[in-house]
């Protein structure tokens, strides 16, 4: 639906309409006739008005959805009303389906898959879940196991299979953690055969909490594209993906900061995803001690080194998984992991609120005044 095209067609149609009555005897001389010229002017004014009307109609259209407990705004640009309604209805269905099928603890498709994996049985499942496993295997390998969605049992043991935060109470007993660690769950224990999965390790329990939102947003963007929508932003509380642009301007978006605020803003490029992981929203609280919800799969304990990590990548799934993995990698290890994932747009915030950025990220973000920051030497080869 290219908006300048429509009014042009309307103008042509109007001129044609005005012309038709006298077409037979006046066709050759119509441009000399004062009346005709008047009609032409009326038609052009009409077309100009329609251009503005269509432009207004073609501006942004918004809807909100709940995606894994986060209110997610979808903005479409340059799309007509009926089309946007169709797109929003499709997204609603898609998001609902994912919520039902990918849930790590509410009984559904994934819990059914997990039961089969634990029992060593082969199980046929959906394309989405198979793709999540396949991509997770690759990402678990590339992050040296810092990102590992096979640790569902450990996440459950810590009480993080809930939507009610904070959780109050002491951490699990050390032997319980050690027992689950000893099972060495890994997505690499899963064998994929078409749409069938089987695990050679009964300790594998899938929990896609660290990538589901990213993948959901990727799928939503792909569906919008299928519907012929080329300019859109899907924003789940600051975790987002952009396709196309915002008219002739880029979208300007806020970058989240620990504690719910923002650290700055940046203009998005065409087709990129921006995700932030933090240890400040979801945690277990025991008196003054906090245990955040991101675990180091190698120790079984929450990681606390960094308060948040923001990653820009060209797809949501990668950005989401990477943000989680870099939190686990911490201040000493994030460079190596970012490099291995081929990412060079990273922003980290430490416990004191200081911001560290890669050069490429520094070139894009406009930090709020008064934020202490440091550009770190970093290059991808």
Q: Which residues bind ligand AMP (CB under 6 A)?
A: 146-149, 155, 160, 207, 209-210, 277, 282, 293-295, 297, 320, 323-324, 328
The residue among 231 and 324 lying less far from Mg ion, judged by its C-beta, is 324
The residue at minimum Cβ distance from Mg ion is 324
- Nearest residue relative to ligand AMP (C-beta): 209
Number of residues that bind Mg ion (CB under 5 A): 5
Count the alpha carbons within 13 Å of 333 in the hemisphere toward its beta carbon.
20
The token pair that represents 79 in the structure block: 């799309």
CA separation for the pair 125, 199 (Å, rounded): 14
Q: Report what 302 binds from ligand AMP, Mg ion, none; CB cut-off 5-8 Å by kind.
A: none
Q: Least distance to ligand AMP from the beta carbon of 10, Å? A: 48
C-alpha distances out from residue 258 to 71, 214, 322, 359, Å: 18, 19, 17, 21
Please name every residue paired with 241 in a beta bridge, in sequence order, or none if there are none.
Answer: 234, 273
CA distance 320 to 213: 7
Q: With CB under 5 A as the contact rule, which of the stretches 45-53, 91-99, 121-129, 319-327 interacts with Mg ion?
A: 319-327
User: Residue 16 and residue 20: Cα distance in Å, rounded?
Assistant: 6
Q: What is the DSSP string of 131-190?
A: HHHHHHHHHHHHTTTSS-TTBHHHHHHTT-S-SS-SEESPPPPHHHHHHHHHT---GGGE
Exactly one of 283, 320, 327, 330 binds Mg ion (CB under 5 A); which one?
Answer: 320
Q: What are phi and psi for residue 237, nearest 5 degrees? A: 60, 40
The entry of ligand AMP, Mg ion, none near residue 291 (CB within 5 to 8 angstroms by kind) is none
Least distance to ligand AMP, CB of residue 330, Å: 12
CB closer to ligand AMP out of 84 and 148: 148
Is there a contact between 334 and 309 (Cβ–Cβ < 8 Å)? yes
When CB distances are held under 5 to 8 angstroms depending on the partner's kind, the choice from Mg ion, ligand AMP, none that residue 148 binds is ligand AMP
We find the least distance from the C-beta atom of residue 379 to ligand AMP, in angstroms, to be: 26
Judged by beta carbon distances under 5 to 8 A according to partner kind, the member of Mg ion, ligand AMP, none in contact with residue 147 is: ligand AMP
Is omega for the bond preceding 337 within 30 degrees of 0, making it cis?
no
160 interface partner picked from Mg ion, ligand AMP, none, CB below 5 to 8 A per type? ligand AMP
Closer CB to Mg ion, residue 10 or residue 329?
Answer: 329
Residues that bind Mg ion (CB under 5 A): 210, 277, 320, 323-324
């Amino acid at each position: 639906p290219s908006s300048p095209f429509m009014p042009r067609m309307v103008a042509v149609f109007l001129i044609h309409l005005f012309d038709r009555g006298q077409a037979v005897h006046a066709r050759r001389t119509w441009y000399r006739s004062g009346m005709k010229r008047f009609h032409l002017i009326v038609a052009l004014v009409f077309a100009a008005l329609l251009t503005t009307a269509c432009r207004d109609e073609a501006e942004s259209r918004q809807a909100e959805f709940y995606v894994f407990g986060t209110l997610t705004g979808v903005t479409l640009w340059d799309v007509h009303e009926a089309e946007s309604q169709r797109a929003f209805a499709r997204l609603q269905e898609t998001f609902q389906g994912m919520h039902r099928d990918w849930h790590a603890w509410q009984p559904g498709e994934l819990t059914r898959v997990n039961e089969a994996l634990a029992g060593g049985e082969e199980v046929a499942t959906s394309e989405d879940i198979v793709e999540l496993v396949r991509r997770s295997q690759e990402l678990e390998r590339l992050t040296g196991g810092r990102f590992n969605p096979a640790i569902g049992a450990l996440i459950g043991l810590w009480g993080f299979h809930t939507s009610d935060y904070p959780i109050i109470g002491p951490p699990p007993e050390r032997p319980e953690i050690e027992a689950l660690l000893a099972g060495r769950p890994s997505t690499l224990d899963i064998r994929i055969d078409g749409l069938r999965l089987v695990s050679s390790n009964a300790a594998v329990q899938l929990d896609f909490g660290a990538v589901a939102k990213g993948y959901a947003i990727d799928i939503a963007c792909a569906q919008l594209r299928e519907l012929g929508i080329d300019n859109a932003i899907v924003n789940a509380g600051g975790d987002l993906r952009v396709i196309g642009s915002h008219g002739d301007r880029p979208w300007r978006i806020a970058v989240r900061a620990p504690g719910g605020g923002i650290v700055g803003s940046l203009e998005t490029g065409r087709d990129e995803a921006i995700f932030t992981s933090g240890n400040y929203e979801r945690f277990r609280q025991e008196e003054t001690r906090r245990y955040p919800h991101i675990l180091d799969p190698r120790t079984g304990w929450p990681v606390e080194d960094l308060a948040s990590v923001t990653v820009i990548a060209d797809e949501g799934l990668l950005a989401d998984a990477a943000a989680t993995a870099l939190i686990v990698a911490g201040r000493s290890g994030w460079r190596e992991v970012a490099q291995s994932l081929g990412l060079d747009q990273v922003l980290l915030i430490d416990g004191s609120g200081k911001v560290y950025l890669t050069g490429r990220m520094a070139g894009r973000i406009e930090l709020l005044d008064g934020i202490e920051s440091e550009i770190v030497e970093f290059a991808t080869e």
